[in-house]
Amino acid sequence: MIDFLKKLYRSDKGATAVEYGLVLALIALAAIVAITGVANETTNIWGDVANQVAEAS
């Protein structure tokens, strides 16, 4: 068991997995921020359309 832990400690595979995880987290965060911005803008546009329809009626 100790040999396994030593081998795991010296391995670069764990560090690579962590790096890929961090990159994936940053991509997910950027996507969430972008989608939130688009959603807010879309909501505002449809609100304006609803107001214009109500005024035209």
Domain boundaries, the chain: 12-56
pLDDT in tens, 29-39: 999 999 999 99
Least confident of 12-16, 20-24, 39-43: 12-16
Name the pTM for this structure. 0.58
Q: Decide: 14 and 8 in contact? Cβ < 8 Å.
A: yes
Residue 3, CB-side half-sphere exposure with 13 Å CA sphere: 0
Q: What is the pLDDT of residues 39-54, one digit of tens each?
A: 999 999 999 999 999 9
Q: What is the mean pLDDT of residues 6-25?
A: 80
pLDDT > 90? residue 3: no
Query: CA quadruple 35, 38, 44, 49: dihedral positive or negative?
Result: negative
